[in-house]
C-alpha cells in the first residue's frame, strides 16, 4: 500500500513514511514515536485481544490488532465431533451471545438432514434469540460510557442484564450457555408464568433506559467524546464487510431479519434503526434504539405465538445420525451484525466443514486498524467498543 493512501499524508508531516511495501518506517530511537500495548487485559479492550499502538505524542500513527490469547480452533474441532457434540463447542465462539451459534448450527443441520421444525419451536427460538440480543445490548449501550470513565451506567446495565439471565436460567437451566436450540426444535416449553415475569422485566428495563438517556445521551461530556469520533466513511462499509449497527449508523438500512427473513420475523412489525453520522455517538444511538425495538419484538412474539404445540421434530438417534452429503449456508442477525454459518456434510456422522463468518474479524482487525490512524489515544477504547467485537469469533 502506498503511503498516499493514508489520510494524514497531506497534513501530518511528523508521521512516518511508508516503505515500498506500504509498511510504516518507525524509528523508535528517534524518540518521535513510542509503542503502547493496550490489552489483552485492559478494561478498554473488548475481550481477550490486544492492540499494538504506535503513537506520536497522543495521536495514533499505526495500530495492529493481536489475537491468540484465547481458546481457538473451534472449526477444526467440529470435524472431530458428531453433529450434536458440536453444540457445546459452537456456543463458545461468542460467549455473550451464544444463541446465534446454536440457531445457525441447528438450522444448517436441519436443512442438510431434511428436518421440518414445528411452528411452536420456531416461536420459542425467536424468544431465545431476542432475549439474547437484549441482554447483550444491556451491556453494550451503558458500557459505551464506561470507556470514558462513566462507570455507573455500566453497573446498572449489568443488574438489568441479570434479569434476562434469570429468565434464561428458568427456560434453559443455564445463565450464559443454554444449548436450548437443537436440531429439530428446542428443549422445552415456556414455564408457567414465564411471559408475565418477562413482561415485568421488560417494564423495568424500559424505566432503566430512561435513566440511561438522562445520564449518557443528555451528557455533554459524553457527546463531546463521541460526536465526530471514529467516523467510518460510507464508502468503507462494503469493502470492509461492515454489517449490523455499525453499518446502520452509516446510513445503510441492513438487517438480516428484513433482508433475508427467517423463522417468523416476516410476521412481525418492526423497522430498521438507522443513523447517518457514522461516528461513535451514532453507533451508540442505533443500539439504544435497538433496545426499544427488541423489547417490542419480544412482546409481539409472546402475543402471536400459540399456547401449545410440538417443540421438536422427530430426528434419528443423534449419536449415530449420518447427515446426507451436501452443503448449505445459514445466516441470522446477531447484536453485532450478520452472522453466517457455512456447513458441508460428506454423508458421515461428522461434519466435513463448518465455517463461521461473523462481523468481528472485519470490525476488529481490518476496519479498526485503519480507523484508529490519527485518533487520540484517549479515544481508542471508545472507538473499539463502538464496533462491538467478540474475540472468540475471530479465534475460531
Q: What is the pLDDT of residue 30?
A: 66
Name the residue with higher pLDDT: 170 or 57. 170
Residue 2 has pLDDT above 70, yes or no: no
Check if the beta carbon of residue 107 is closer than 8 Å to that of residue 129: no
What is the edge-to-edge ordering of all strands in the sheet holding 50-56?
A: 34-38, 50-56, 59-66
Q: How far apart are CA 313 and CA 197, in angstroms?
A: 28
Q: In which band, very low, low, confident or very high, does the pLDDT at 15 lie, cut at 50, 70 and 90?
A: low
Residue 95 has pLDDT above 60, yes or no: yes
Q: In which band, very low, low, confident or very high, does the pLDDT at 10 lie, cut at 50, 70 and 90?
A: very low
From the list 386, 306, 282, 334, the residue with the least C-alpha distance to 103 is 334
Q: Is the peptide bond preceding residue 40 cis, with omega within 30 degrees of 0? A: yes
Residues with Cβ < 8 Å from 6, sequence gap 6 or more? Answer: 15, 18, 373
Residue 44 has pLDDT above 80, yes or no: no
Residue 20 has pLDDT above 50, yes or no: yes
- pLDDT tens for 321-352 read 999 999 999 999 999 999 999 999 999 999 99
The residue count of the chain comes to: 396
* Arithmetic mean of pLDDT over the chain: 88
Q: In which band, very low, low, confident or very high, does the pLDDT at 43 lie, cut at 50, 70 and 90?
A: low
- pLDDT tens for 338-387 read 999 999 999 999 999 999 998 988 898 889 999 998 899 989 989 999 99
Q: In which band, very low, low, confident or very high, does the pLDDT at 8 lie, cut at 50, 70 and 90?
A: very low
User: Residues of 318-336 as b/e, b for ≥16 C-beta within 10 angstroms?
Assistant: beeeebeeeeeebbbbbbb
- pLDDT tens for 139-185 read 999 888 888 888 888 889 899 999 999 999 999 999 989 999 999 99
Residue 217 has pLDDT above 90, yes or no: no
Domain boundaries, the chain: 74-358
Distance set, CA 297 to CA 151, 266, 293, 302 (Å): 29, 12, 6, 9
- Whole-model pTM: value is 0.90
C-beta atoms surrounding 129 within 10 Å: 27
Residue 123 has pLDDT above 70, yes or no: yes
219 burial (CB, 10 Å; 0-12 / 13-18 / 19+) is: middle
The CATH H-level (homologous superfamily) assignment of domain 74-358 is Cytochrome-c3 Hydrogenase, chain B (1.10.645.10)
Amino acid at each position: 500500500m502506498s503511503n498516499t493512501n493514508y489520510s494524514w499524508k497531506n497534513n501530518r508531516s511528523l508521521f512516518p513514511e511508508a516503505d515500498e511495501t506500504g509498511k510504516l518506517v518507525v524509528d523508535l530511537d528517534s524518540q518521535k514515536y513510542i509503542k503502547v500495548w493496550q490489552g489483552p487485559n485492559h478494561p478498554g479492550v473488548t475481550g481477550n485481544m490486544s492492540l499494538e499502538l504506535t503513537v506520536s505524542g497522543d495521536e495514533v500513527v499505526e495500530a495492529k490488532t493481536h489475537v491468540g490469547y484465547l481458546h481457538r480452533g473451534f472449526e477444526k474441532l467440529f470435524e472431530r465431533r458428531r453433529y450434536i457434540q458440536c453444540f457445546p463447542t459452537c456456543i463458545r465462539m461468542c460467549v455473550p451471545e451464544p444463541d446465534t451459534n446454536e440457531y445457525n448450527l441447528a438450522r444448517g443441520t436441519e436443512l442438510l438432514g431434511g428436518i421440518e421444525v414445528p411452528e411452536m419451536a420456531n416461536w420459542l427460538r425467536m424468544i431465545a434469540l431476542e432475549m439474547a440480543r437484549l441482554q447483550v445490548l444491556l451491556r453494550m449501550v451503558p458500557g459505551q460510557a464506561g470507556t470514558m470513565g462513566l462507570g455507573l451506567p455500566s453497573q446498572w446495565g449489568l443488574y438489568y442484564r441479570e434479569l434476562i439471565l434469570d429468565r434464561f436460567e428458568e427456560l434453559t437451566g443455564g445463565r450464559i450457555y443454554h444449548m436450548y436450540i437443537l436440531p429439530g426444535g428446542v428443549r422445552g416449553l415456556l414455564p408457567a408464568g414465564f411471559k408475565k415475569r418477562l413482561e415485568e422485566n421488560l417494564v423495568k428495563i424500559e424505566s432503566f433506559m430512561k435513566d440511561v438517556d438522562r445520564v449518557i445521551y443528555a451528557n455533554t461530556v459524553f457527546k463531546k467524546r463521541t460526536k465526530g469520533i471514529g467516523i467510518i466513511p460510507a464508502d468503507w462499509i462494503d469493502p470492509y464487510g461492515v454489517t449490523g449497527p455499525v453499518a446502520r449508523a452509516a446510513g445503510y438500512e441492513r438487517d438480516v431479519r428484513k433482508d433475508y427473513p427467517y423463522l417468523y420475523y416476516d410476521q412481525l412489525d418492526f423497522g430498521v434503526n438507522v443513523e447517518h453520522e457514522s461516528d461513535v455517538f451514532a453507533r451508540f444511538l442505533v443500539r439504544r434504539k435497538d433496545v426499544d425495538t427488541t423489547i417490542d419484538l419480544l412482546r409481539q412474539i409472546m402475543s402471536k405465538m400459540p399456547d401449545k404445540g410440538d417443540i421438536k421434530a422427530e430426528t434419528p438417534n443423534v449419536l449415530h445420525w449420518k447427515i446426507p452429503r451436501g452443503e448449505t449456508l445459514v445466516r441470522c442477525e446477531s447484536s453485532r451484525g450478520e452472522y453466517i454459518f457455512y456447513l458441508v456434510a460428506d454423508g458421515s456422522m461428522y461434519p466435513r466443514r463448518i465455517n463461521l463468518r461473523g462481523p468481528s474479524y472485519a470490525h476488529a482487525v481490518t476496519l479498526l486498524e485503519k480507523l484508529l490512524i490519527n485518533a487520540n489515544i484517549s479515544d481508542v477504547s471508545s472507538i473499539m467498543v463502538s464496533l462491538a467485537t467478540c474475540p472468540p469469533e475471530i479465534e475460531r
